[in-house]
């Protein structure tokens, strides 16, 4: 009763009607969404496990309620009260938006919405908006609209109805005020504000997942999921801004930025040519025939994971032409991306270095600390062109193509779209590139050239059914089946493109590099799409080199490879070696070192890193969930986490190596940006 007396003395009945008319529905809405999300998680948690994951939300909501009661008690009337009322509605609307967006993002992607993701969205909201809207059910939009409408007008309506209802009583009956609380009334609002601050401050650290901790990573939950959505947004923003970078490893930083002064030296025609990667990363001397000048074509297969193509999965006939082509090509059996994102893959393939592990440098003039393939080959007399079947707004590819050194750029905006279908919210089927490609090749094909074809059809939201090549049934799941039909469309484009080169008489003198930019996750590890899918379905890609006259019997690279190997391989095929520079990749004309280590990073800052060596993969989640170790030879689907059987010293060493790599890569790009500015 004393507590009720205390609150009754702070504010009048009308104020409580107004405040609780919004705060109570908000708290119910917030906790209901969190409970729904918890119920969708794998594993059994029971009452205490569920409560542990909801504690942060409960503490935050309690602090939020006390905050506004205290502020209303401080600002009782006049201008101050009007300002507080406006802030009350605006803050609650903001929280509703953040809570709802975080909930839908988790449902679609299987991971939490962090500050880094929001910071990336804001500069290119026009491109991101279709992604946010697609796949959200109409009921979710209806609920959000109703919630926002209520947040604006609901408290006033509730207050009027409550006052009218409470006024109905026996004549002469009056409300009896409770006995005032003994603490002086002037200290009441201060006490509430202090308590509000205390509860909100505890909110980031009280969330836990006892069931997940006991069950390990298989049932474990990202710690950021256990935080209240708004708290997690603020926490990750502060965490990213205040994080101390590990001192860059000098060798790593040199490997990333050492190609700034690189130049090409033509090998002697004696038939003995040094490995183009010797100045890059060591290697021996190999005797290879001196090829005549060749063209280079990079075919970028959007969102294409290895397991969804026929050469890597003979049970799946999605890419029969690619499979046929592989029989006379050099195919990397264990090829990986560095970061599962289109723009990052484009930097890696064209520039031969690890891409920036944070947003920005690839879009900024002078932001790449290496001479890239277009720039290198232009010095040898090559023309360069970049074709793209999607909009130039996709990942700001107009800026990327210019930064890489391409002279000509053709996005879908300048192509004739008559008769071509859109295969996702931002692009068209790849055949739209054939006409401009033919026109450019007829005009420039007499000289050696480098051409890149950026496809987009397998990008979400996979609108490939129906299509001109017919629809096939690859999977029972409609989403996966649509995706695989999109992969099949890429295969048809590849056939059409190579046929075009044959008809123009350019095929025999062209090196074709065909690669996936990243994979896709369809819930195999609770992650959907790409981005933060650090598992095999997100990182492992198809990669093959088709050079007529070189690999007629079909050759295979069995060792670990990644996209940094494309530049040294292409240069060796063309008969060049690198001088005055250093690139980290290896020419795939010979097996890479057996003890090679590959490193990977998620898109989202401070989300996850991984390393792989000798078939063993280590994943670090920045403490948000248990570290993971997988034996890919015995467990290719990454279902059994072996980290519990490894010493803390071993895991610490792997973690420190990854953090040093991360810091070294980013230091090279930040240094380049500072130098340019």
Give yes or no: residues 226 and 298 share one domain.
no
List Cβ neighbours of 26 (8 Å cut-off, separation of 6 or more): 61, 64, 92, 95, 96, 151
CA dihedral 300, 303, 307, 312 (to 10 degrees): -10
The residue among 591, 606, 621 that closes a domain is 591
Nearest to 109 by CA among 621, 632, 534: 534
The pLDDT of residue 76: 83
Q: For residue 641, is it within any domain?
A: no
Q: What is the three-class DSSP state of 241?
A: helix
Same domain membership, residue 217 and residue 278: no
Residue 656 structure tokens: 């420190």
The answer for residues whose C-beta is within 8 angstroms of residue 549's C-beta and 6 or more apart is: 508
Same structural domain for residues 407 and 440? yes
Compute the Cα dihedral for 544, 402, 387, 117 and give only its sign.
Answer: positive
pLDDT of residue 527: 85
Average pLDDT over residues 417-436: 95
Answer yes or no: is pLDDT of 218 > 70.
Answer: no
Residue 530 counted as domain residue: no
Within a domain: 332: yes
Residue 127 has pLDDT above 70, yes or no: no
User: Residues 420-447: what's their mean pLDDT?
Assistant: 96
Residue 636 lies in a domain: no
Phi, psi torsion values for 165, nearest 5 degrees: -70, -40
Same domain, 235 and 263: no
Q: Is 532 helix (H, G, I), strand (E, B) or coil?
A: coil
200 and 326 share one domain: no
Q: Across-strand partners of 512?
A: 297, 546
Query: Is 460 within a domain?
Result: yes
Point out which residues pair with 508 in neighbouring strands: none
Residue 535 CB contacts under 8 Å (≥ 6 apart), including other chains: 521, 524, 525, 527, 619, 638
Is the confidence at residue 238, as pLDDT, over 70? yes
> Per mean pLDDT, which range of 6-20, 234-248, 413-427 is the poorest?
234-248
State whether 166 and 308 are in the same domain.
no
Q: What is the pLDDT of residue 287?
A: 38
Residue 347 binned pLDDT confidence (cut-offs 50, 70, 90): very high
Q: For residue 375, what is the domain's CATH number?
A: 3.40.720.10
627 — pLDDT class (breaks 50, 70, 90): very high
- Same domain, yes or no: 350 and 434: yes
Distance CA 428, CA 422 (A): 4
Helices (H), 366-415: 373-378, 397-404
Place of tokens 């420190």: 656
Q: Let me know if residue 620 belongs to a domain.
A: no
**Distance from C-alpha of 71 to C-alpha of 182, rounded to nearest angstrom:** 21
Mean pLDDT of 533-547: 97
pLDDT-derived band of residue 281, with 50, 70 and 90 as boundaries? very low
pLDDT score at 273? 38
Is there a contact between 402 and 409 (Cβ–Cβ < 8 Å)? yes
**Alpha-helix runs per DSSP H in 301-354:** 320-326, 342-351
Whether the predicted pLDDT of 591 surpasses 60: yes
Q: What is the pLDDT of residue 179?
A: 47
Q: What is the pLDDT of residue 130?
A: 64
- Which positions ≥6 away from 660 have C-beta within 8 Å? 246, 247, 248, 249, 252
- Extract the runs of DSSP E, i.e. beta strands, from 258-382: 263-266, 272-274, 285-287, 295-301, 330-336
Q: How far apart are CA 564 and CA 560, in angstroms?
A: 12
Distance CA 136, CA 108 (A): 8
Top-confidence residue, 148 or 290: 148
| E strands, 523-608, in order | 528-529, 540-541, 543-546, 555-562, 576-579, 597-601
Confidence of residue 197 (pLDDT cuts 50, 70, 90): very high
The residue to which tokens 């490939």 are assigned = 464
Q: Is residue 268 over pLDDT 80?
A: no
Q: Are residues 291 and 173 in the same domain?
A: no
Cβ atoms of residues 329 and 546 within 8 Å: yes
Residues 98 and 235 in one domain: yes
How does pLDDT run across 160-176, given as a tens digit for each residue?
Answer: 888 887 766 545 444 44
Distance CA 457, CA 318 (A): 14
Rounded mean pLDDT, 328-348: 97
The closest of 254, 335, 350 to 665, measured between CA atoms, is 254
Asked whether the predicted pLDDT for residue 604 surpasses 80, the reply is yes
| Polymer length in residues for the chain | 677
Is residue 323 within 8 Å of 514, Cβ to Cβ?
A: no
- CA-CA-CA-CA torsion sign (388, 394, 398, 402): negative
Q: How confident is the model at residue 258 (pLDDT cuts 50, 70, 90)?
A: low
* Over residues 381-403, mean pLDDT: 92
The verdict on residue 619 lying in a domain is no
Alpha-carbon gap, residue 518 to 306, rounded angstroms: 9
Q: Answer whether residue 361 shows pLDDT above 70.
A: yes
Q: Is 556 helix (H, G, I), strand (E, B) or coil?
A: strand
Q: In the predicted model, is pLDDT for residue 148 greater than 60?
A: yes
> Which residue range is the domain that position 55 belongs to?
2-242
Predicted confidence (pLDDT) at residue 116 exceeds the cutoff of 90: no
The Cβ of residue 408 has, within 10 Å, a number of other Cβ atoms equal to 16
CA 45, CA 49: separation in Å to the nearest integer? 5
Is the model's pLDDT at 275 over the cut of 90? no
In this structure, the answer to whether residues 282 and 173 fall within a common structural domain is: no
Q: Calculate the average pLDDT of the chain.
A: 85
Give per-residue pLDDT as tens, 442-471: 999 999 999 999 999 999 889 999 999 999
Query: Between 583 and 633, where is the model more confident?
Result: 633
Residue 501 has pLDDT above 90, yes or no: yes
| Rounded alpha-carbon distances, angstroms, from residue 311 to 9, 316, 329, 332, 544 | 75, 9, 11, 10, 10
Name the percent of the chain lying above pLDDT 70. 83
Q: Which residue has the higher pLDDT, 267 or 88?
A: 88
Among residues 182, 208, 242, which one ends one of the domains? 242
pLDDT at 543: 98
The total of other beta-carbon atoms located within 10 Å of residue 533's CB is 28
Picking from 218, 242, 266, the residue at the C-terminal end of a domain is 242
pLDDT value at residue 117:
79
Total structural domains in the chain? 2
* 369 vs 539 pLDDT, higher one: 539
Q: What is the mean pLDDT of residues 573-586?
A: 87
Looking at the fold, whether 12 and 139 belong to one and the same domain comes out as yes
Whether the bond between 303 and the residue before it is cis, its omega within 30 degrees of 0, is: no
Tell which wins on pLDDT, 463 or 291.
Answer: 463
**Is there a single domain that holds both residue 270 and residue 231?**
no
10 domain residue, yes or no: yes
- Mean pLDDT of the region 131-136: 64
Which of 327, 331, 277, 323 shows the shortest CA–CA distance to 515?
331
Mean pLDDT for the stretch of residues 28-52? 85
d(CA 457, CA 465): 11
- Whole-number pLDDT of residue 266: 72
* 5 has a pLDDT exceeding 80: no
């Amino acid at each position: 009763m004393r507590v009720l007396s205390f609150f009754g003395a702070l504010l009048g009945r009308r104020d409580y009607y107004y405040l609780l008319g919004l705060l109570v529905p908000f708290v119910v809405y917030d906790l209901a969404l969190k409970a729904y999300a918890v119920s969708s998680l794998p594993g059994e948690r029971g009452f205490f496990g569920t409560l542990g994951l909801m504690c942060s939300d409960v503490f935050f909501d309690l602090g939020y309620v006390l905050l506004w009661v205290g502020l209303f008690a401080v600002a009782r009337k006049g201008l101050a009260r009007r300002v507080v009322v406006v802030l009350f509605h605006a803050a609650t609307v903001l929280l509703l938006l953040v809570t709802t967006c975080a909930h839908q993002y988790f449902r679609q992607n299987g991971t939490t919405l962090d500050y880094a993701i929001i910071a990336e969205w804001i500069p290119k909201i026009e491109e991101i908006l279709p992604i946010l809207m697609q796949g959200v059910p109409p009921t979710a939009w209806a609920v959000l609209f109703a919630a926002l409408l209520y947040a604006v007008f609901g408290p006033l309506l509730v207050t009027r109805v409550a006052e009218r209802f409470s006024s109905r009583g026996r004549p002469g009956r009056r409300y009896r005020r409770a006995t005032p609380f003994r603490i002086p009334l002037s200290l009441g609002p201060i006490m509430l504000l202090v308590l509000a601050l205390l509860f909100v401050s505890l909110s980031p650290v009280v969330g836990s997942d006892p069931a997940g901790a006991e069950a390990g990573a298989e049932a474990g939950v990202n710690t950021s999921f256990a935080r209240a959505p708004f708290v997690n947004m603020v926490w990750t923003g502060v965490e990213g801004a205040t994080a101390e970078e590990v001192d860059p490893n000098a060798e790593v930083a040199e490997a990333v930025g050492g190609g700034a002064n690189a130049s090409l030296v033509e090998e002697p025609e004696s038939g003995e040519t040094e490995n183009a990667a010797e100045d890059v990363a060591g290697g021996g001397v190999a005797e290879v025939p001196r090829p005549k000048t060749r063209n280079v074509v990079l075919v970028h297969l959007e969102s294409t994971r290895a397991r969804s193509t026929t050469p890597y999965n003979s049970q799946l006939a999605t890419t029969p032409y690619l499979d046929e082509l592989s029989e006379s090509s050099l195919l990397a059996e264990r090829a990986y991306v560095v970061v599962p994102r289109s723009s990052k893959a484009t930097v890696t393939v064209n520039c031969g270095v690890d891409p920036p592990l944070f947003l920005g440098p690839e879009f900024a003039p002078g932001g790449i600390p290496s001479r890239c393939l277009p720039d290198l080959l232009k010095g040898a007399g090559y023309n360069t062109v970049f074709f793209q079947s999607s909009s130039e707004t996709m990942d700001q590819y107009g800026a990327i193509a210019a930064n890489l050194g391409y002279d000509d750029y053709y996005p879908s905006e300048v192509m004739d779209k008559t008769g071509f279908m859109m295969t996702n919210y931002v692009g068209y089927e790849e055949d739209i590139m054939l006409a401009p490609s033919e026109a450019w090749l007829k005009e420039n094909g007499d000289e050696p050239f480098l051409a890149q074809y950026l496809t987009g059809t397998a990008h979400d939201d996979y609108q490939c059914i129906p299509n001109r090549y017919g629809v096939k049934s690859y999977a029972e799941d409609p989403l996966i089946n649509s995706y695989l039909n999109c992969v099949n469309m890429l295969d048809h484009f590849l056939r059409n493109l190579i046929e075009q080169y044959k008809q123009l008489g350019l095929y025999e003198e062209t090196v074709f590099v065909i690669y996936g930019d990243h994979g896709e996750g369809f819930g195999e590890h609770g992650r959907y799409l790409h981005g933060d899918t650090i598992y095999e379905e997100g990182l492992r890609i198809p990669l093959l080199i088709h050079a007529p006259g070189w690999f007629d019997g079909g050759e295979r690279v069995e060792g670990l490879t990644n996209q940094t190997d494309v530049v040294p391989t292409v240069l060796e095929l063309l008969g060049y070696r690198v001088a005055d520079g250093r690139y980290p990749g290896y020419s795939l004309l010979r097996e890479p070192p057996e003890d090679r280590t590959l490193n990977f990073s998620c898109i989202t800052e401070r989300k996850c890193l991984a390393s792989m060596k000798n078939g063993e993969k280590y994943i670090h989640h920045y403490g948000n969930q248990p570290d993971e170790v997988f034996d890919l030879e015995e467990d290719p689907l990454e279902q059994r986490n072996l980290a519990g059987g490894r010493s803390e010293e071993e895991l610490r060493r792997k973690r420190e190596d990854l953090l040093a790599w991360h810091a070294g890569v980013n230091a090279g790009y930040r240094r380049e940006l500072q130098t340019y500015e």
